Amino acid sequence: MIDTNRQDYKKDLEEVIFMFSSGENISISHFEENDGKTFKDKFIFLGKEYNFTNHKQIDGELELKRYEKRFSKLGLYKILAEHFKVDYEWGALTGIRPVRMAYSLKNDYEKELKEVFYVSYKKIQLVKDVLKTQENIIDKDGKYSDLFVSVPFCPTRCAYCSFVSEEISKCKHVDKYIDTLVYEIENSLKLCKNLRSVYIGGGTPIALKNEQLIKILKVLQPALNGDIEFTVEAGRPDVITEEKLKILKEYKVNRICVNPQTFSDKTLTLIGRKHSASSVIEKYNLAKNYGFIINMDVIAGLPEESFSDFKNTVDTVINLNPDNFTVHTLCLKKGSILKEKVKRLEIGEISKMTDYAYNSAKENGYNPYYLYRQKYAADNLENVGYSKPQKECVYNIDVMEETSNNIACGANAVSKRVFKEKNQIERYGAPKDILTYINKVNEIIKAKEQLFS
């Protein structure tokens, strides 16, 4: 915990503490003062006083607030990094969108990431690579929209997963949910100006029965002009069937995911995925026959996995040659069953894994094209999407960099309107709970109409 005179960014300081300790047993006091030119931070930790001073000319109130906060965070990071003898690759950067930050820092981003956040050269290079891949794709003028549809159901829950989703056989309201969702989509299509992608995400959308899935796909058809990008996060190989693939194809879906997470059967059992490694390959080949652009998700740092397990996963993915693959770093919320079970890997081991994925991707013609970070990620590392040239998923870029409007439908879906001129984003989040969502759908539709009016 931290006792600070800067309540306005206490939470940000707590995030730095959390990087090192999950918040337990650390007690720090902090006093910050500045006159707009000289910035002073005093910390007391374990009875010792630490002082940091910097002189810098800052123009504008907003910039000043930003700098005060960043300078305090860096001071705290330095104290804890020294105490715990750990240096994280992302340094004092706690934000989840480093690339978006680079866009906002414009030409100064490299210097700022290095000097104000202590980000490593390697991660700055990663940000640079992503910016380069996004160069001709990013919605510079904020003129596009994307449509998101949330299907928060799964065949069963995987032990590590932090997404909001229910086991489909245990939910009594699936039909009612689908009907409400279809109604909301019908009423949302008029809000989609210059639509450039549609994304049905999960959960596992194809865990639905055929007729439920078709209802959603049908109502989306008027939005699908030309060969607009249309993704379904098919996901778990145990529910990918030839019948489902045919349906997706018939309704103009052009991208899907077939997610291994790992190619170790032992790990798959441990994390509660009800499929084998070989079934991933079988379903991938089946989906390939239908001509979908395919993404494969993998996770670095899964329980009991060594570097060679992860290397085997990446090598197998690259051998299969999908258009995209995404490398997540395991991120376990406090109190989750798996968190209690997982043996923490040595600091640096997961970094070796993500470095291997990065290097192999580049050697095999993939570029990193989007990047984000999550709280509680092992070693504070990141998630990176890799793509063959011209096969990038535009939806992922738009949603991560928050450059386009997002019209989101369903429980827990967050709609965003981008005001490019004001450099501002307004959001509306629908309720997480399925029944609350069903009962409030008219209110939700109205709120979204207001957001996009």
Ligand X SMILES: C[S@@+](CC[C@H](N)C(=O)[O-])C[C@H]1O[C@@H](n2cnc3c(N)ncnc32)[C@H](O)[C@@H]1O
| Closer Cβ to ligand SF4, 238 or 315, answer by number | 238
Q: Give the one entry of ligand SF4, ligand X, none that residue 233 binds, where binding means its C-beta sits below a cut-off of 5 to 8 angstroms depending on kind.
A: ligand X
- Please give the residue ranges that form the binding site for ligand X (CB under 6 A): 154, 160-163, 202-204, 233, 235-236, 259, 261, 297, 299, 328, 330-332
Q: Pattern 182-221, binding to ligand SF4, x per CB under 6 A?
A: --------------------xxx-----------------
Q: Give the one entry of ligand X, ligand SF4, none that residue 350 binds, where binding means its C-beta sits below a cut-off of 5 to 8 angstroms depending on kind.
A: none
* DSSP class of 377: B
How near is the Cβ of 274 to ligand SF4 at its closest, in Å?
Answer: 9
Q: Is the CA virtual torsion 136, 324, 216, 247 positive or negative?
A: positive
Neighbours of 399 (CB within 10 A): 22
How near is the Cβ of 166 to ligand SF4 at its closest, in Å?
Answer: 9
Report d(CA 271, CA 339) in Å as an integer: 11
Neighbours of 9 (CB within 10 A): 18
Q: Which residue has the tokens 């429980």?
A: 411
Tokens matching residue 268:
């798959």
C-alpha distances out from residue 185 to 43, 387, 410, 418, Å: 52, 30, 9, 20
Nearest residue to the partner ligand X, using Cβ: 235
In angstroms and rounded to an integer, the radius of gyration of the C-alpha atoms of the chain is: 23
Q: Give the one entry of ligand X, ligand SF4, none that residue 331 binds, where binding means its C-beta sits below a cut-off of 5 to 8 angstroms depending on kind.
A: ligand X
Report d(CA 94, CA 70) in Å as an integer: 10
How near is the Cβ of 168 to ligand X at its closest, in Å?
Answer: 11
* DSSP class of 330: P
| Closer Cβ to ligand X, 154 or 213, answer by number | 154
How near is the Cβ of 181 to ligand X at its closest, in Å?
Answer: 17
Q: Give the one entry of ligand SF4, ligand X, none that residue 441 binds, where binding means its C-beta sits below a cut-off of 5 to 8 angstroms depending on kind.
A: none
| Closer Cβ to ligand SF4, 119 or 200, answer by number | 200
Nearest alpha carbon to residue 229 among 397, 451, 452, 425: 397
| Closer Cβ to ligand X, 13 or 151, answer by number | 151
How near is the Cβ of 182 to ligand SF4 at its closest, in Å?
Answer: 21
How near is the Cβ of 93 to ligand SF4 at its closest, in Å?
Answer: 26
What ranges in 251-385 are assigned the alpha helix state H? 265-270, 277-289, 307-320, 337-341, 349-363
| Closer Cβ to ligand X, 116 or 200, answer by number | 200
| Closer Cβ to ligand SF4, 167 or 242, answer by number | 167
Contacts of residue 108, defined as CB under 8 A and 6 or more positions apart, other chains included, come to none
Report d(CA 204, CA 261) in Å as an integer: 14
What ranges in 290-369 are assigned the alpha helix state H? 307-320, 337-341, 349-363
How near is the Cβ of 273 to ligand X at its closest, in Å?
Answer: 7
How near is the Cβ of 273 to ligand SF4 at its closest, in Å?
Answer: 7
Residues binding ligand SF4: number (CB under 6 A): 11
Q: Give the one entry of ligand SF4, ligand X, none that residue 299 binds, where binding means its C-beta sits below a cut-off of 5 to 8 angstroms depending on kind.
A: ligand X
| Burial class for 114, CB neighbours closer than 10 Å (0-12, 13-18, 19+) | middle
How near is the Cβ of 76 to ligand SF4 at its closest, in Å?
Answer: 33
Report d(CA 408, CA 214) in Å as an integer: 19
Report d(CA 4, CA 317) in Å as an integer: 48
Q: Pattern 228-247, binding to ligand SF4, x per CB under 6 A?
A: -------xx-----------
| Closer Cβ to ligand X, 34 or 197, answer by number | 197
Tokens matching residue 444:
């939700």
Near ligand SF4 in 117-176, by CB under 6 A: 154, 157-158, 161, 163, 165
| Closer Cβ to ligand X, 119 or 154, answer by number | 154
Nearest alpha carbon to residue 184 among 451, 452, 438: 438
| Closer Cβ to ligand SF4, 279 or 321, answer by number | 279
Q: Give the one entry of ligand X, ligand SF4, none that residue 157 binds, where binding means its C-beta sits below a cut-off of 5 to 8 angstroms depending on kind.
A: ligand SF4
| Closer Cβ to ligand X, 154 or 408, answer by number | 154
Report d(CA 183, CA 352) in Å as an integer: 47
Nearest alpha carbon to residue 335 among 110, 24, 91: 24
How near is the Cβ of 30 to ligand X at its closest, in Å?
Answer: 31
Q: Are 189 and 218 in contact (CB under 8 A)?
A: no
Question: Which residues sit at the interface with ligand SF4, rule CB under 6 A?
Answer: 154, 157-158, 161, 163, 165, 202-204, 235-236
